[in-house]
Amino acid sequence: MPDPRFPSAFTWGAATSAYQIEGAVAEDGRGASVWDTFCATPGNVKDGATGAVAVDHYHRYPEDLDLMAGLGLGGYRFSIAWPRIQPAGSGRPEQRGLDFYRRLVDGLRERGIAPMATLFHWDLPQALQDAGGWENRDTAERFAEYAEIMFDALDIRDWLTINEPKTVVDCGYRWGIHAPGVQDESRAFVVLHHLLLAHGLASRVLHEHHPGRRIGPALNLHPTYAAEDPDDPEVAKVVRHRDGLENRVYLDPIFKGAYPADTLEWIAERSPMPSHIRDGDLKVIGEPVDVLGVQYYTSHFLDRRGERVLKYPTAQLEWLEIFPRGLYDLLVRLKDEYPAVPLLVTENGVPAPDEVGEDGRVDDQGRIAFLRDHLDAVGDALAEGVPVEGYYVWSFLDNFEWAEGYEPRFGIVHVDYATQRRTLKNSALWYRDLIATGRLG
């Protein structure tokens, strides 16, 4: 019997992003992105790795599509490389770039896999960065134009605007560990506002030109908890503050049309961001959301000083403290505190240093347990009436893990980087069985 908590229309999917898998960075007219630039500076990425070749998906996509079909995936979430479409960040689209994504979408359709496209997964055209990037309000306008090109070019129902604005703000602009490598809070929060503006502007374009399709943001959200005594008012204050910076500062403007007052006040002490909010911006940002992409990896437990305390085991990457219950709490919270919109878990997954064994298999039991436990949390949320429509494993393939290079492997499909040979890990076989039987096992 299939697990009764999951509706029969539930989408079992997997996700990737352009820069992490495509390679072919100088092909078919693609322009440079901020990540090409960032990778070129020694010290930014482990072992000097880059996405120049990645897993060569740009050339190997037919084989990858066949592997997806073999698993029985119902949905595939990919991202479009803006620099393939507008190499200089604006103007007439590059036909060869459009053609690649058309072939990909056609290939998915032929195999009965529903495509979902992310418009921006961090690979900003370098030309726009040179003009100020997301600190420049104009980039949000350019994004809406690029979005319109894609909406017209691709026959896709579900769209995501910005992948994880928080990661761009924090990693790209506060901590400098992602492109463009800036460490400046005053600039970071201006970027935050313009990313949300870009999200709203693009959503408007879709609603005006393509009623019937759906669009929303892909937010990485982190439940925050007191590590010790939750009744300690000092801790409660710290937890609430962190919740503002991690979650509410993205959710509230998008769903409630207003920045959370406490977080905005904190930001105002560090950044001229509030002076960049123009009349009407929050109306744009508050454009109705048709579907929310929820990306969950970990939760944050905090002590009285706001320091993160690790209470549970971590994965290969230390930031990923494994806490499936956080996903349940998050989904229930979204239902309780925000307007009811269909939810998709657009990323969830775990890294490991997987290798192919002598028997030709990759026995990634840790990943199987991780995925099962998190899907169990999704099932519990569904049983509580949370409208989760689908789940996309991060990631379909091992790939370029940003500043960490190629060492952490997030795929359910193993890639031998020397030969580009693909091998289904045991987690992929487990996922195939789950999709076929509807049972978590």
Nearer Cβ to ligand GBH (95/314): 314
Nearer Cβ to ligand GBH (312/319): 319
Rounded CA-CA distance 350/365 in Å is 11
Nearer Cβ to ligand GBH (156/171): 171
CB of 343 to ligand GBH, least distance (A): 17
CB of 84 to ligand GBH, least distance (A): 18
CB of 227 to ligand GBH, least distance (A): 17
CB of 122 to ligand GBH, least distance (A): 7
Question: Which chain residues interact with ligand GBH by CB under 6 A?
Answer: 17, 20, 163-164, 167, 171, 177, 220, 297, 319, 347, 394, 401, 410
Alpha-carbon distances of 53 from 19, 36, 57, 95, 440, rounded to whole Å:
9, 11, 9, 22, 35
CB of 11 to ligand GBH, least distance (A): 18
Nearer Cβ to ligand GBH (192/284): 192
Cβ neighbours for 126, distance < 8 A, ≥ 6 positions apart: 31, 32, 33, 34, 36, 37, 83, 89
Residues that are catalytic: 164, 347
Nearer Cβ to ligand GBH (205/221): 221
CB of 240 to ligand GBH, least distance (A): 20
CB of 360 to ligand GBH, least distance (A): 26
Residue nearest ligand GBH, CB atom distance = 319
Q: What is the 3-state secondary structure (H, E, C) of the chain?
A: CCCCCCCCCCEEEEECCHHHHCCCCCCCCCCCEHHHHHHHCCCCCHHHCCCCCCCCHHHHHHHHHHHHHHHCCCEEEEECCHHHHCCCCCCCCCHHHHHHHHHHHHHHHHCCCEEEEEEECCCCEHHHHHCCHHHCCHHHHHHHHHHHHHHHHCCCCEEEEEECHHHHHHHHHHCCCCCCCCCCHHHHHHHHHHHHHHHHHHHHHHHHHCECEEEEEEEECCCEEECCCCCCHHHHHHHHHHHHHHHHHHHHHHHHCCCCHHHHHHHHCCCCHHHHCCCCHHHHHCCCCCCEEEECCCCEEECCCCCECCCCCECCCCCCECCCHHHHHHHHHHHHHCCCCCEEEEECCCCECCCCCCCCCCCCHHHHHHHHHHHHHHHHHHHCCCCEEEEEEECCECCCCHHHCCCCECCCEEEECCCCEEEECHHHHHHHHHHHHCCCC
Nearer Cβ to ligand GBH (380/404): 404
Per residue in 111-124, is it b (16+ CB within 10 Å) or e — as a string?
Answer: eebbbbbbbbbbbb
CB of 344 to ligand GBH, least distance (A): 14
